[in-house]
Amino acid sequence: MSAYTLKINGRAHQLDVDPNTPLLWAIRDGAGLTGTKYGCGVAQCGACTVRVGDQTMRSCSLPVSAVGDREVTTIEGLSGREAAAIQKAWVGLDVPQCGYCQSGQIMSAVALLEGNPKPTDRDIDLAMNGNICRCATYVRIRAAIKNAARTLES
């Protein structure tokens, strides 16, 4: 066990965990933030997507020791113009069904719009690839991203 200070959503969390503990469990069990979901455990489904520094990453396979002093942002701490536009579009188009994958989907969609404010269908498909939705709401997800992009233009 080692002591780690993780800055999650702007707040320092002191954790005593094994260095190989996946960030997901530090977030959920250590910090008590349960919006980030466990899906597959092998970084394939996207349910555990968070931002570490300025990159989206799969927290289920990222060891706490690899985070260093970078800020971790979870769905609970997501903010900014792009985040507000995505969240509004998600609600407006009734994107989620079961909702389990949605925190990861939203994290990836926000990152896409921050880097590409006018994504094409191909851009969306590439950016969202690997975010699995068991309910198959992909058409609504794409439409919500496009709506959010249009909102940001005005």
How do residues 104-117 score in pLDDT, each as one tens digit? 999 999 999 999 99
Residue 146's Cβ-count burial label (10 Å; 0-12, 13-18, 19+) is middle
pLDDT at 106 (0 to 100): 98
Nearest to 101 by CA among 130, 127, 80, 72: 130
Mean residue pLDDT of the chain comes to 96
CA triple 152-96-147, angle to 5 deg: 20
| Cβ 120 vs Cβ 150: under 8 Å | no
Mean pLDDT (whole number) for 142-146? 98
Q: Exposure of 107 by Cβ count < 10 A (0-12 exposed, 13-18 middle, 19+ buried)?
A: buried
Assign 1 a pLDDT band (cuts: 50, 70, 90).
confident
Instruction: State residue 114's pLDDT score.
Output: 98
Span 26-85, pLDDT tens digits: 999 999 999 999 999 999 999 999 999 999 999 999 999 999 999 999 999 999 999 999
End-to-end, the C-alpha distance of the chain in Å comes to 51
Distance between CA atoms of 100 and 47, rounded to whole angstroms?
7
- CA-closest candidate to residue 104, choices 53, 60, 148: 60
The verdict on pTM exceeding 0.85 is: yes
| Banded pLDDT at 154 (limits 50, 70, 90) | confident
- Which percentage of the chain shows pLDDT scores above 90? 98
Query: How many Å apart are CA 25 and CA 143, to the nearest integer?
Result: 32
Residue 57's H or E segment, with its range, is strand 55-58
